[in-house]
Structure 1
Amino acid sequence: MFSHITIGSNDMARTKAFYDALFAATGGPSGITDANGRLIYDHRGGRLLITRPVDGKAATGANGGTIGFTMESAKEAKAWHEAGVANGGTSVEDPPGERTGSAGKMYLAYLRDPDGNKLCALHRIES
């Protein structure tokens, strides 16, 4: 359904270091910077773009918004979370771990990136 997700940043160098660490924790490549100065991450069929807001105003995190990343294992989700915290992210929500809800059993880990965007690592645990 989605072709890509784009979020804003106020400090592209800081943001690149943060997201490069997250993607490295899941076997993904470092971001590339295009001719317009946007960071682009392609991994597992998804595309994340990060840019300075085109209106010149400050980037802010979406209130109520979350960007979810699919993980291949709980171990990978934990490594993703640890890489984020070590590179300027903030752990939010409950601590990383297993949860059971209407969608079944899963391992979840939540972060806010340095610009306040809320991110989630999700691994579905098979019954």
Structure 2
Amino acid sequence: MYSHNMVGSNDLAASKAFYDATFQAIGGKPGIQDEKGRLMYLHNGGIFMVTAPIDGEPATVGNGCTIGFAMENPEQAKAWHDAGVAAGGTSIEDPPGIREGGFGQLYLAYLRDPSGNKLCALHRVV
């Protein structure tokens, strides 16, 4: 069912620095920019895009929205988190670590990107 995800940005250069760092921390490649200026990240069969809004209005974040990225292990999630903080992101929620809940043990790390979009690195602990 999942095809892609796209977030808005008011500063594509800051977004590129942030997402290049976070995706490279988990084995991805730097984003490519298409002819419309959109950033595209292709990793593990998924497509993640960043763009200035096409309507010309400022980009805003979705209240209550979170974009989750699957991680291979807790170390990868922590590396993603640390790379994001170093590249201009903000650590949010609790510090990276294991949470207990209805879905079992999850290792979670949360960030806001430079535009305020909420992101989560998730590893299901077996």
| Pairwise CA distance, 1:2 | 1.3
Query: Who is 1:70 aligned against?
Result: 70
SS in 2 for 1:72: coil
Q: Does 1:122 align with 2:89?
A: no
Amino acid paired to 1:26: I
Q: 1:4-43 residue pairs with structure 2 within 5 A? A: 4-43=4-43
| Matched-pair identity in % | 63
- Which aligned runs of 4 or more in structure 1 are off by greater than 4 angstroms? none
| Pairwise CA distance, 1:34 | 0.5
Cα shift readout 1:31-85 (whole Å, capped 9, x = no counterpart): 0000111000010111001100011111111100000000001000000000000
SS in 2 for 1:93: strand
CA distance in structure 2 between the aligned counterparts of 1:3 and 1:54, rounded to whole angstroms: 20
SS in 1 for 2:98: strand
TM-score (normalised: structure 2): 0.98
Amino acid paired to 2:39: L
Q: Is there any run of 5+ residues in structure 2 with no aligned partner, and where?
A: none
Query: Who is 1:49 aligned against?
Result: 49
Query: Who is 1:105 aligned against?
Result: 105
CA distance in structure 2 between the aligned counterparts of 1:79 and 1:61, rounded to whole angstroms: 24
CA distance in structure 2 between the aligned counterparts of 1:57 and 1:70, rounded to whole angstroms: 31
Amino acid paired to 1:33: Q
**Over the residues paired in the alignment, what is the CA RMSD in angstroms?**
0.5
Instruction: Return the structure number with greater strand share.
Output: 2
